[in-house]
Chain A
Amino acid sequence: MIANYGYEDGSGHYYIKIDTSKCAECSDKGCISACPEKLFVTELDDFDDEVVLIREDARNTLQTSCAQCKAGEEKELCAAACVAAAIGFSW
């Protein structure tokens, strides 16, 4: 399943996509420590797999949270840390 966490408002759309089937197979969950804003947390999903998601109170401020990371030339820290290549972005 592709879970998209984020929002769209007048300034644009900001969604982080997580492919939960790929994420479920990974035991590292490297994204959690890689993100300086601590956006990622784990949970047992409805299919009883351990997957990551964006914490609820951070979903509607992604433009600000990710601004620093997005401003650089390199790949986003979370996507770079993800061995399962499960993380994507709508912007």
Chain B
Amino acid sequence: MITAGIDCGSQNTKGVILKDGKLVAMALLPTEFDADLAAQGVYEQSMSKAGITKADVDRLVITGVGREIVKWGDTEINEVGAAARGARFVIPDTEIVIDMGADSCRVIRLNEDGSVMKYEVNDKCASGAGTFLEAMARALQVTTEQMGEFSLRHTKELATNAQCVVFAESEVISLIHAKETREDIAYGVHMGIANRIASMIRRVGLTDHFTMIGGPAFNKGLVSCMSKVFGREIKTPDNNQFISAIGAALFAAENQ
């Protein structure tokens, strides 16, 4: 059976093809304010990479914030359901999923059977999501990858106070003027966001096996700070950006 999943994120659109439960193709395009166009693009690209056509796809499921606009799938699933399935699939002992996107963040606690026990969503404040990290990286004049690496090399445990992306940018600039190193500032930035996620984790209940998915999961400095704050190891699967799309494609296979 061949299923497809498309995750229409606010910043990037991701598409995957699963064949008999195995990942065979994936594609990513920036959403660029046209979710429909981006979704069509990743669908075409992933089918092409898989060497198939639309007729071969048994079922297509759409997820992500753009599913309000992209209505041509067979059905849709919300981001919580997609993230839960995707994370469990790639890391079977997952108990808590941290799904951080560009504009929102979800913390999902799973039951033993993989169903969702509890979840917390923050989609009201950009300071708990990827946009925050990108803005801070820009203020430090580095890429987000570099910011991750700098953070791991910190020597001082610098704390940051600003809760808002806009104010945090000013705070980073003041810290630069105060001659703090980029390594320490990067660490402070990551600790700030880790503390914000921590309050969401406390609300679902702290348990053991953490998996982080979504674009920002590749940032090793961030993951290290989060590990420190929660006191737990955090696994980050390969293809972290595609996990929710995989979850959507898995859901497509479920309902047959």
Chain A directly contacts chain B within the complex, with at least one CB pair under 8 Å: yes
- A-B contact sample (12 more), CB < 8 A, given A10-B125, A11-B124, A64-B202: A9-B124, A9-B125, A10-B124, A11-B122, A11-B125, A57-B161, A60-B163, A61-B163, A61-B199, A64-B199, A67-B199, A67-B203
Question: What's the Cα separation between A68 and B167 when bound, in Å?
Answer: 28
Question: What's the Cα separation between A47 and B125 when bound, in Å?
Answer: 37
Which residue of chain B has its CB nearest to the CB of A10? B124
Which residue of chain A has its CB nearest to the CB of B203? A67
Q: Mark B155-169, 1 if CB is under 8 A from A, else 0.
A: 000000101000000
| Cβ–Cβ < 8 Å partners of B199 in chain A | 61, 64, 67
Q: How many residues of A contact B (CB 8 A)?
A: 8
The 9 lowest CB-CB distance pairs between A and B, nearest first, are: A10-B124, A64-B199, A11-B124, A60-B163, A9-B125, A10-B125, A9-B124, A57-B161, A11-B125
CB<8 Å pairs between A and B, sample of 6: A10-B125, A11-B124, A60-B163, A61-B199, A67-B199, A67-B203
B188 to chain A, nearest CB (A): 14
Q: Mark A1-32, 1 if CB is under 8 A from B, else 0.
A: 00000000111000000000000000000000
| A interface with B by C-beta (< 8 Å) | 9-11, 57, 60-61, 64, 67
Which residue of chain B has its CB nearest to the CB of A65? B199
Which residue of chain A has its CB nearest to the CB of B195? A61
| Cβ–Cβ < 8 Å partners of A64 in chain B | 199, 202
Question: What's the Cα separation between A60 and B203 when bound, in Å?
Answer: 18
Question: What's the Cα separation between A10 and B123 when bound, in Å?
Answer: 8
| Cβ–Cβ < 8 Å partners of A61 in chain B | 163, 199
| Cβ–Cβ < 8 Å partners of A9 in chain B | 124-125
Question: What's the Cα separation between A11 and B128 when bound, in Å?
Answer: 13
Question: What's the Cα separation between A9 and B196 when bound, in Å?
Answer: 14
Q: Mark B119-132, 1 if CB is under 8 A from A, else 0.
A: 00010110000000
Question: What's the Cα separation between A5 and B70 when bound, in Å?
Answer: 43
Which residue of chain A has its CB nearest to the CB of B122? A11
Question: What's the Cα separation between A57 and B122 when bound, in Å?
Answer: 21
Which residue of chain B has its CB nearest to the CB of A9? B125
Which residue of chain A has its CB nearest to the CB of B126? A10
Which residue of chain A has its CB nearest to the CB of B200? A64
B176 to chain A, nearest CB (A): 22
Question: What's the Cα separation between A11 and B200 when bound, in Å?
Answer: 13
Question: What's the Cα separation between A67 and B203 when bound, in Å?
Answer: 9
A64 to chain B, nearest CB (A): 4
Question: What's the Cα separation between A9 and B125 when bound, in Å?
Answer: 8
| Cβ–Cβ < 8 Å partners of A10 in chain B | 124-125
B32 to chain A, nearest CB (A): 24
Question: What's the Cα separation between A58 and B163 when bound, in Å?
Answer: 11
B170 to chain A, nearest CB (A): 15
| Cβ–Cβ < 8 Å partners of B203 in chain A | 67
Question: What's the Cα separation between A42 and B124 when bound, in Å?
Answer: 33
Question: What's the Cα separation between A61 and B199 when bound, in Å?
Answer: 10
A65 to chain B, nearest CB (A): 9
Which residue of chain B has its CB nearest to the CB of A11? B124
A5 to chain B, nearest CB (A): 15
**Cβ < 8 Å to A, chain B residues 168-202:** 199, 202
